[in-house]
Structure 1
Amino acid sequence: YRRQLAEKLSRKELPLGVRYHVFADPPGPKIGNGGSTLHVLQCLEDLYGDKWASLTVLLIHSGGYSQRLPNASALGKIFTALPFGDPVYQMLELKLAMYIDFPSHMKPGILVTCSDDIELYSTGATETVTFDKPGFTALAHPSDVTTGTTHGVFVLDPSSFSGKGGLEYTSCRHFLHKPDVETMRRCGAVCVRGNCSQLSSSGDHRDPEMDSECVYTDSIFYMDHSTAKQLLTFYKQVGTLCCEIDAYGDFLQALGPGAAEDDTKNTSDAAKEESRLAEVRQKLYSLLKGTMFNVIVLHNSKFYHLGTTQEYLFHFTSDSKLKFELDLRSVASSIFPDKAESSDGSTSIVQSILEPGCSIGPGSVIEYSRIGPAVSVGKNSIISGSHIDLEADVPSNCFLSSLSIKINDQVKYVSMVFSVEDDLKKSVKLLSDIHSLQFFGISLLECLDLWGVKASDQLFSGENTGLGLWTARVFPVCSTLSESVRMSLKMLNSVQHMSAFKLNGFKLLSIEEMLTYKDVEDMLNFRQQIYDEIHLQRQKEKPDL
């Protein structure tokens, strides 16, 4: 992260008058984005002492394994490339551009956001988003009721809320974390509004019958310095955290006059049932109860999430509203010759070199890759960081992402390949259950048989991470990038045609291990080489003046 930040700053791609810090979670068990928030407060105090009381801070949660969008796993979700700009924008630049007006209307405190969401809104000429109230202040976006089941939902105080204008400041009675529809209705979170059809944030998947109903969902939130100080004191008292805390679920659920202590006991959404989590939630509830909870309702706004392969493909390649609003390009900072076959603009080619003769199917995304002339890519596929030089057919719905790794001081390459619909988060506890894991629609057990790999406990990496596609040691380590792609495509081909392709003789890694051994420098160098080659080509194409 620091390397990528330093490179961006040296190229003047980021605002220069800002201090940037990267804070990693402390070693030990996972602590969630809530635990990370607390840890960052500690780091800021350690760095700045009493001066941190005067800082306005943008905190972007950028870690996580990104199991639902693994091309962001190695270099971080905040550095996900977007198909516009030259050099191409990444999520970090977009975040800073979106929030550019906030610091001047913000009292000292912390603005908390995630790295895989985009908030777009419009307000009247005299309306300003201001973070200057004590306690917590959250942005709220109108969404359809179904969207509310996967987000945080605000139960707004009807007496202070008219539903008119572009922006309204109101107070929140209760925050619901990923509630079901019945809970939203029972708690009074569902609003009936005649113009909700224009405001539904799912945009392209509306049920006409639900047009008059909406809920207000969360995105980013702010806490003033004194609230942050309270949380830091709590963190110091607790000592080492042993459970995952959700900055949204666990902080915001304690707020508002309608907050119930029972919410702290609901650990069904936690990664593991832990009594420790219930205890920490109870303490947070006691600490934060009564803290002011303000909401800025952005009536003309949309919240977009780019955290899964399906969302990524949809927003980048279909006629999505996000594509229209950000003017996302079909070809961004790439060499894409006229002779290369593509569909009607429904592809997304980002900082890549495609040679004449290759063909890319509709709905596919190619980023940071070199694609040779005899390569055919099917539809709805993602290819990231790869070099495909020889004849190859990449099937539809394929996810292919290559990593540089360093083992014993030697740079090697591994390419992961899946279906874009495979569930990399799914795991089982027993070896006898791995038949339920699916690789490209086929039982993993059958795939292992085709690859000549024995199903045993040694097949899976990690001690407590479960047995799943994420931890299965099935991807061959190769000496060149193009060879690693070739081997992984052969694995996939063997599964699709039910023909054997033995992996004997290869060192095999899981995705979990690839990330442990990743060689960031080599991957960034590969991206830089592509960038330099594209610009050299552009210089040659410019007519002499």
Structure 2
Amino acid sequence: MAALVVTSRVGEGHVSGDVRMCEVEEDVRVRRETHRRLEAFNAIRGKEVQLGEFWDAVVITAADKQQELAYQQQIADKLTRKELPLGVRYHVFSDPPGPKIGGSSQRLPNASALGKIFTALPLGNPIYQMIELKLAIYIDFPKNMNPGVLVTCADDIELYCSGDLEVTFHKPGITALAHPSTLTIGTTHGVFVLEPSDSSEYQELEDRSCRLFLHKPTIEKMRQTGAVSIQRNRSCNPVGERLAEEKLNSEVVYTDSLFYMDHATVQLLLGFFKEFDTLCCEIDAYGDFLQALGPDATLDYTENITFVTKTESQLIEVRKKIYFLLKGTHFSVIVLNNSKFYHIGTMHEYLFHFTSDTKLKAELGLESNVFSIFPDQDENVNETACIIQSVLHAKASVSPHSVIEYSRLGPDVSVGEYCIISSSCINIRSDVPAKSFVSSLSLLIDERLMYATIVFGIEDNLKKNVTTLSELHSLQIFGRSFLERLGLWDIKVSEQLFSGDQTALSLWNARIFPVCSTLQESVTLSLEMLNAAQNKPLAKVGYMKMLSIEEMLSCKDVKDMLNFRQLLYKEIVLQREMEMSAF
């Protein structure tokens, strides 16, 4: 049985594996292979797949029961619209209540309500979301894989060309993919310490053994453990003639992306889990599994809590048990020297990759206007803007480097540069300032359908927190003092201002977003707050019921949010059918 598991993971973004010599030829090969995989996936989209042709099961992990239900609904809708291969078992499993490694997509809040794996991409007809892209990019794996499980993340993209060799998962134990990266990138990712290669020649794919896995190491640690390599000699052969080899003296490390566990290893971990009645700490499939592997692995990492959000009393004990459980498990690494790794987990990465990254655009065939209605687009939107499944009035305008997804913009709506507008309906005259984030959520409060719209600046840090109200001056929203903004909005500072943990006060759990009975009223009020922050007429909202983003996610109405997207979908389909019939 071949199973794909998509999970959440915390990490910084990067693009790695960029080869300076023969760059054009190697990029062309990556692009060609990527397009082949996309075409192969499109050929089975909405069709019954045969046994062995595709994954036996696709498993998505959710943070809680509510998110599990949201994911299940979205999978069901996709199957109904025939956007996924049929005849596959799609499962969603939620984590038990308790500590979480992740942070509810705080760095990409438009994915917080419905999940990063369902992030819309400017690609495909109907549009791809991250789940389709993952399935497309990995389409060659099931046929080259022994029974087992492949573990991947919801917010990254791995593109590669392996030359004449195929990526295979036939070895026992655990096999991981690795990508050449700079040492700086290595400090925010997992890094492999590999056995020396048997060949001195450059190869697009290398099968290597791994001595040690380092989790977000320092550059000094990488050097001490032998993780740093010098990029190999390589040659180009673009027109059939061998060119002179040139040594590249740049230092690289090999960083992680996804990994495979064979059936025996999965059974070992399953037996371990069953021994525990309840796990009272969250285990990281990357940091806690992979650091236990390799002949040079030691127990030292089990007591390192540097990257742990909240330390539970059971954590170190469980880590040690996992270390002894996995110790001696075969650990191999497939090095993809001609590969690209893109992370789309922050607002800056999201905006850059969707609007400005010419390489990713060429590799995936990304478009600036996907499955949308936008008359007079050439006049009112820059080609570096991105419109995804949205309906825009002919008199609306969108500035460069902005993304509009699942939204409706009326006449006289102007969106500034570097904005994200998500799941919103803006029908009033509006000038959305540059670097603004606007996203609406449907809420179910006391069995009543309500709405709230999140607004803040793209540069704002939603995760930064302080421990007391007296420290609020150090928080900023829209680039200015949070306390100053509260005054403009007539919101009083008190213990009731924040939800959740009262020792971690942040923009994420600040009750500053008004709850309204209609979507349009919600958008209007939040835009007034946004304009007040830009020294426009004041928006007094302190008298209203206010929620934090944290609270909104706990009472979100997934059904209504998906219904809004479906209405946009039907309107766009109808418009296209009318256009087709006109010819």
TM, length-normalised to structure 2: 0.83
Q: Residues 112-191 of structure 1: matches in 2 within 5 Å?
A: 112-125=151-164, 127-160=165-198, 162=200, 164-191=202-229
Q: 1:426 to 1:161 in 2, by over 3 A?
A: farther
1:292 aligns with 2:317: no
SS at match of 2:471: helix
Which of the numbers 138, 148, 156 marks the counterpart of 1:109? 148
Q: Which residue in the other structure is 2:86 paired with?
A: 16
Q: Distance in 2 between matches of 1:479 and 1:470?
A: 22
1:77 aligns with 2:116: yes
Aligned-partner residue type, residue 113 of structure 2: A
Task: Summarize deviations over 1:105-154 as a string: whole Å, max 9, x none.
Answer: 111111101111111001224x1111121111000111122111111011
For the pair 1:86 / 2:155, whether they are aligned, the reply is no
| Amino acid in structure 2 at the alignment position of 1:21 | H
1:259-270 equivalence runs, <5 A: 259-270=297-308
Pairs within 5 Å for 1:342-421: 342-421=380-459
1:518 is aligned to 2:539: no
Deviation at 1:465, TM superposition (A): 7.3
Do 1:105 and 1:132's aligned partners in 2 also have CA atoms closer than 8 Å? yes
- Select which of 521, 537, 542 maps to 2:580: 542
Give yes or no for the alignment of 1:311 onto 2:349.
yes
Q: 1:498 to 1:119 in 2, by over 3 A?
A: same
Percentage identity across paired residues of the two chains: 62
SS in 2 for 1:542: helix
For 1:247, the equivalent position in structure 2 comes to 285
Check 1:197–1:322 CA distance in 2 against 1; reply closer, same or farther (3 A cut).
Answer: farther
Q: Output the CA distance in 2 between the equivalents of 1:465 and 1:367.
A: 35
SS in 2 for 1:415: strand
Q: In 2, distance between residues paired with 1:431 and 1:196? A: 58
Amino acid at match of 1:82: L
Report the Cα distance in structure 2 between the residues aligned to 1:93 and 1:22, rounded to whole angstroms.
16
- Counterpart of 2:462 in 1: which secondary structure? coil
**In structure 2, C-alpha distance between the alignment counterparts of 1:251 and 1:119, rounded to whole Å:** 21
* 1:299 Cα deviation after fit: 1.2
Structure 1 window deviating more from structure 2 (405-414 vs 235-244): it is 235-244
Report if the CA contact (8 A) 2:178-2:334 is conserved: yes
Q: Kindly provide the amino acid, as one letter, of the partner of residue 30 in structure 1.
A: P
- Give the Å deviation of 1:31: 4.7
Any residues of structure 2 matched to 1:427-506 within 5 Å, and which? 427-463=465-501, 466-497=504-535, 500-506=538-544
In the aligned structure 2, how far is the partner of 1:195 from the partner of 1:387? 55
Cα shift readout 1:351-392 (whole Å, capped 9, x = no counterpart): 011111111111000000001110111000000000110100
Summarize deviations over 1:35-59 as a string: whole Å, max 9, x none: xxxxxxxxxxxxxxxxxxxxxxxxx
Kept after mapping to 2: 8 A contact 1:196/1:211: no
Closer/same/farther in 2, CA of residues 359 and 130 from structure 1, 3 Å limit: same
Partners of 1:270 and 1:456 lie apart in 2 by: 30
CA–CA separation in structure 2 for the residues paired with 1:464 and 1:176 = 34
Unaligned 5+ residue runs, structure 1? 34-63, 199-209
Alpha carbons 1:340, 1:356 under 8 Å: kept: no
Aligned mates of 1:413, 1:195 — CA distance in 2: 58
> How many residue pairs were aligned?
502
Displacement of 1:239 in angstroms is 3.0
Instruction: Name the CA distance, whole Å, in 2 between partners of 1:234 and 1:429.
Output: 38
| Matched residue type, 1:252 | L
What SS class does the counterpart of residue 421 from structure 2 fall into? strand
Question: Does structure 2 retain, via aligned residues, the 8 Å contact 1:339–1:356?
Answer: yes
Deviation at 1:93, TM superposition (A): 0.6
Deviation at 1:341, TM superposition (A): 4.2
Does the 8 A contact of 1:340 with 1:357 survive in 2?
Answer: no
Task: Give the residue type in structure 2 aligned to 1:377.
Answer: V
Cα distance between partner residues in 2 of 1:452 and 1:529 = 36
Match of 1:57 in 2: none
Contact 1:340/1:358 (8 A) holds in 2: no
Q: Work out whether residues 160 and 171 of structure 1, in 8 Å CA contact, stay in contact via their aligned partners in 2.
A: no
Which runs of no fewer than 5 residues in structure 2 stay unpaired?
A: 1-70, 237-247
Decide whether aligned partners of structure 1 residues 346 and 197 sit closer, same or farther in structure 2, where only a CA change above 3 A counts: farther
Q: SS of 1:247's equivalent? A: coil
- Cα distance 1:78–1:465, how it changes in 2: closer, same or farther (>3 A)? farther
